[in-house]
A = this chain, B = another copy of it.
Amino acid sequence: MGDPLPSWRPGAVRESVVAFLDAVTDVPVADRLACFDNDGTLWCERPTYVQFDYLIDLLRAADRADATIQDRPEYAAVLDGDPEAIGDLGLVRVALALTELCEGWTPEEFTASVGAFMARAPHPTLGRRHRWAVYQPMLELLDALRARDVTVSIVSGGGTEFVRAVSDDLYGVPPELVVGTMIAYDYDRDAGGRPRLRRTAEVDKGPNEGAAKVSAIQSQLGRRPRLAAGNSGGDREMLEWAAGQDGPSLALLVDHDDADREVAYTSVAQSFAEAEPITEVGSALGWTVVSMARDWAQVFPEAR
């Protein structure tokens, strides 16, 4: 068998990952669960979240069809690309307003709409489509885990159904292994009396961030992960949850320090009422902090 991790450069980080891959085969198969954050961990989240790009795309189409869409301040702020106006309104309010664009859709309609967007949408700066703005080293890690009978899941703060619309194609992850922020459905019947589900604009439970990720992992996946990977403050509890147990575990934190090949930025975690860089939290807690610049020989798959 060749090297399963060709894009991981030699060094302490690669050694830590390889040691985990060796050790996890001692864990009972039923307990081999890995949880990956999506935005910023499996694919690029800058300059905007892909899901936000998708919603802006929907909004532009709605604006072309109906000029009165601009009457709503949340939509005007987004269409004007006005960060200050968006900040004044609050990102949550703006996000919920955008979610209303899909209200009443069936699950199949939403999935088809995301699929059509992903088939064409370019990343704004990387010179490739969003679909290929995935991290090659992480794709290799997902495959190496599955080769060892580890169940690979995605635990995202993003919309559950949005991630599901891409997860099989991008990562080989089926819908039941995607845990995210869920928009509630209404169950009713159509004019012919056939049952149907239609999207509301309500979040079913709170956003899937922080400690909520830990509860959601137990609620939906039913066991404690042996590996958790993330890149932001919203992943802190999930990584602590994986790391804080006996036996093999790996808490993997991606440090976006590669301005040449991606974007260099720092995510923060709230701890003791003070914001500190999540990479400092991770180092202090003994996590495996991945420097994109140092540890990854290749960031993205061959351009397509």
Residues of A whose CB lies within 8 Å of any CB of B are: 30, 107, 151, 153, 160-161, 164, 168, 174-178, 182, 184-185, 187, 194-195, 197, 204, 211, 214-215, 218-224, 237, 240-241, 244
Contact = CB atoms under 8 A, between A and B. Distances in A.
B185 A222 contact: no
Given A176-B177, A187-B214, A187-B215, A244 B195 contact: yes
A151 B195 CA distance: 22
B185 A197 contact: no
A182 B222 CA distance: 11
Contacts of A185: 215, 218-219
Contacts of A175: 221-223
Given A174-B151, A214-B195, A164 B222 contact: yes
Given A107-B222, A175-B221, A182-B219, 17 more contacts: A30-B174, A160-B219, A164-B222, A176-B220, A176-B221, A176-B222, A178-B222, A184-B215, A185-B218, A185-B219, A194-B244, A195-B237, A195-B240, A195-B241, A195-B244, A197-B218, A204-B219
A162 B130 CA distance: 41
A195 B240 CA distance: 7
A61 B259 CA distance: 62
Contacts of A218: 107, 185, 197
A215 B197 CA distance: 7
Contacts of A195: 214, 237, 240-241, 244
A240 B214 CA distance: 34
A185 B212 CA distance: 10
Nearest to A187: B211
